[in-house]
Structure 1
Amino acid sequence: MLRRFNTMKTTGDQQLVKRINRSVLLRLLRRQSGRSRAQLAQESGLTKSTVSLLVRELIDEGWVTEGDVPAAQGLGRPSTPLRIDGSRRGMIGVEVAVEALRVVGVSLIGEVLCAREEPLAGSEPEVVCRQAAGLVAQTQAQLAGQGVQLQGVGVGLPGAFDEASGMLRFAPNLGWRNVDFVPLITQALDQAGVPPVAVHVQNEADTAALSEYEFSEGDAQDSLIFVTCSAGVGAGIVLNDRLFTGVQGMAGEIGHSILQIDGLLCSCGRRGCAETFIGARALARLADPAQGGQTLGVVLQNLWTTFNPSALVVGGLSCERYPGIVQVARATLQGYATSAGVPAPPVRAARYGLLASAVGAAALVLYHDLRPMHAPAAGAVSRATGAPVTPSTPTA
């Protein structure tokens, strides 16, 4: 038995090493498209034979494709440029918003291939999961019709999601507390006939952050904060290339940080929360909703001095309705930065607009696939086996 155990452990270790090496190559190509096999070997530290073998697997599985133009000219056989294949594999992202469901099919390079939106048919968790699963099934069929293989499904929820237990702890605008969400959504997906793929769940502000971090180039180096302003207010935080979610998924619940002692009553039961100043309902009461940007600028200032991110992104329904609040918030933040004599991080509107959280839920699948050493969690379930997705579980 001891010998067999050691053999199984060795096999598992080899699978993990292979997944890590594959992820290294994929992340290099995502950072800069057009690298050759030789360049990948040089930059990854892997042997040329290992890179050639892994690249062949990645091409066969639809992760990578070869370019038509040689990467370099010179003596000997020209090298072939490689890039992430945006046509053969994709992810489905679901945003459970307070007012609607948004479901998107997204390619490996962040292209939105299809999108659906429906008003919520009801607020009960079981009803929401059945409705979401039906939309996922329709989206998967559309992707299959385009020749796109489903890699996984991600779900963004409007509240504190405890990744360790798979529980939705707190979603005041839906009236949800301590909902065992993962079994509900996986069962609904099974009943809807969705193929057995990994399912990942996270807070919708966290997924929105991933839509910018995983698919956008430029300012998001290894850290980014996405502030979403809709019925509720939240922040998705990426630090050192990892989502920062807190012990019970409560990190980033800035809508329930207190801005005024004994202020207006909030949906959470507290008084003076940020949501009572810059939530959608609060902004609708203002003669000029853009004035809410001053308070949003204060919130951005506090996030900046707390986390020192590379970039700040603002999105959500309120920003779509009142785009002026982003400009006011940026100016307010710049005023604080000027007073302190310190350059502020860039502030911009969400690139995917109202689809940010849904696209980011799709990116959540990629986020986990490209980080094999990320700790396993109840929020990442393989529907092929019914077990949590672990680092040694193949995903391709």
Structure 2
Amino acid sequence: MKTTGDQQLVKRINRSVLLRLLRSQGGLSRAQLANESGLTKSTVSLLVRELIDEGWLTENDVTAAQGLGRPSTPLQIDGRTRGMIGVEVAVEALRVVGVSLTGQVLCALEEPLTGTQVEDVCRQVARLVARTRTQLKRRSVQLSGVGVGLPGAFDEATGMLRFAPNLGWRNVDFVPLITKALAQAGMPPVPVHVQNEADTAALSEYEFSEGDAKDSLIFVTCGAGVGAGIVLNDRLFTGIQGMAGEIGHSILQIDGPLCSCGRKGCAETFFGARTLSKLKQPAQGGHYLGVVLQNLWTTFNPSALVVGGPSCEQYPGIVEVAKATLQSYAASAGMAAPAVRTARYGLLASAVGAAALVLHHDLRPMHTRSPASVAQPSDATDPISSTTTETA
């Protein structure tokens, strides 16, 4: 006999199937959703009504003929009534955005980081998140959750930030600290998700950009630190302790320049922001970025490579040099290099991606909840997967 928990999970999975279908094929009718998902028409009809009532879906005004019988009504993801808040904790600043389900930036705030003590950062983040929620409420946007991107290796299984050398943080139990700060700032109890800021940047492109990001994408972010967010097989690849993608601390030169992490010859010492600011021609750092892109390409073979971050905004020449370097390696091997594009959201990529992190978890209910994603009671509904199962 099924338990109530089992039935609720099955329902969340079924809802997620419908939402993911409509994200990839907007305009499907209820009948088409039933056909594509394998769910019964009655189940689809019931779930669609719930998703409309909760602000996930909206009906188009125009009906479409569908053979004999009554015309069908196309359905779309609703970009007006539900949204997420995303936070990037950068080395130099905090960026907070309110984002719709369709990836539209509804509002954005940025402040210089006023201190690097963890408790101080959490309080500053919570204050900006509360201000952003107020702006969303004025738009009548219902909040689904809050995502936070951090500049360091984050262990999702334990909720621990292993290290963020540019902030001087090591082994910080971050999730309870930010959850407490948000509550003290008057935030309602909504799901809070945390991840590395390069990983969240990757999700800004993977969840909201159409086209080339099929089931894999790598986002390289270049700033004071250098990191890579990796999406493989429709999932973030973070490694056993959250250290996957810490390319800024991969070694490009044995016994090279001393890095902030304590190693020598890290990639960050060749094209991190501090190094670029000292070069007469900062674009030269793009050669090393190109080497890293080549290594990521041959290691993961992603469908898309994206670069972004403060250094790419300040020194756009490094991107062009990196592309040329990558092309040179590809030509030497007689292969076609993957396309490299710049971030769709510019400096807001990590913050928008932190908001996308909420959606990423909502759309995959089979993922086990961990300390890195603290689900609190709220009116936010949790959906999505690709498995098709009927509700009992």
Common fold by TM > 0.5 = yes
Identify which of 86, 101, 105 aligns with 2:98: 105
2:56 alignment partner in structure 1 = 63
Q: Distance in 2 between matches of 1:242 and 1:281?
A: 32
Could you tell me which amino acid in structure 2 is paired with residue 248 of structure 1? Q
Could you tell me which amino acid in structure 2 is paired with residue 237 of structure 1? I
Superposition pairs for residues 205-244 of structure 1, below 5 Å?
205-244=198-237
- Between 1 and 2, higher relative CO (CA 8 Å, sep ≥ 6) is seen in 2
Superposition pairs for residues 1-80 of structure 1, below 5 Å?
10-72=3-65, 74-80=67-73
Aligned to 1:231, what secondary structure does the other structure show? coil
Q: Give percent identity, aligned residues only.
A: 81
Gaps of 5+ in 1: 1-5, 392-396
Aligned to 1:336, what secondary structure does the other structure show? helix
Aligned to 2:229, what secondary structure does the other structure show? strand
2:387 alignment partner in structure 1 = none
Gaps of 5+ in 2: 385-392
Q: CA shift at 1:292, angstroms?
A: 1.1
Asked if structure 1 preserves the Cα contact closer than 8 Å seen for 2:12 and 2:383, the reply is no
Aligned to 2:76, what secondary structure does the other structure show? strand
Q: Distance in 2 between matches of 1:72 and 1:249?
A: 50
1:183 alignment partner in structure 2 = 176
Q: Distance in 2 between matches of 1:133 and 1:326?
A: 34
User: Residues 113-145 of structure 1: CA distance to partner in whole angstroms, max 9, x if unpaired?
Assistant: 000000111100000000000000000011011
Asked if structure 1 preserves the Cα contact closer than 8 Å seen for 2:364 and 2:383, the reply is no
Q: CA shift at 1:73, angstroms?
A: 5.4
1:3 alignment partner in structure 2 = none
2:286 alignment partner in structure 1 = 293
Q: CA shift at 1:76, angstroms?
A: 2.2
Aligned to 2:3, what secondary structure does the other structure show? helix
Q: Distance in 1 between matches of 2:140 and 2:383?
A: 28
Q: Distance in 2 between matches of 1:72 and 1:328?
A: 52
Q: Distance in 1 between matches of 2:166 and 2:285?
A: 20
1:147 alignment partner in structure 2 = 140
Q: CA shift at 1:36, angstroms?
A: 0.8
1:380 alignment partner in structure 2 = 373
Could you tell me which amino acid in structure 2 is paired with residue 185 of structure 1? I
Q: Distance in 1 between matches of 2:114 and 2:65?
A: 56
| Correspondence 1:370 to 2:392 | no
Could you tell me which amino acid in structure 1 is paired with residue 77 of structure 2? I
Identify which of 122, 131, 146 aligns with 1:129: 122
Identify which of 157, 161, 179 aligns with 2:154: 161
User: Residues 334-371 of structure 1: CA distance to partner in whole angstroms, max 9, x if unpaired?
Assistant: 11112212222210000000000000000000000000
Q: Distance in 2 between matches of 1:137 and 1:204?
A: 21
Q: CA shift at 1:313, angstroms?
A: 0.3
Q: CA shift at 1:38, angstroms?
A: 1.1
Question: What's the Cα RMSD here?
Answer: 1.5
Asked if structure 2 preserves the Cα contact closer than 8 Å seen for 1:186 and 1:383, the reply is no
Q: Distance in 2 between matches of 1:99 and 1:76?
A: 61
Could you tell me which amino acid in structure 2 is paired with residue 171 of structure 1? A
Q: CA shift at 1:375, angstroms?
A: 2.3
2:390 alignment partner in structure 1 = none
Q: Distance in 1 between matches of 2:68 and 2:321?
A: 57
Q: Distance in 1 between matches of 2:110 and 2:296?
A: 31
Asked if structure 2 preserves the Cα contact closer than 8 Å seen for 1:263 and 1:273, the reply is yes
Q: CA shift at 1:47, angstroms?
A: 1.0
1:83 alignment partner in structure 2 = 76
Could you tell me which amino acid in structure 2 is paired with residue 32 of structure 1? Q
TM-score by length of 1: 0.94
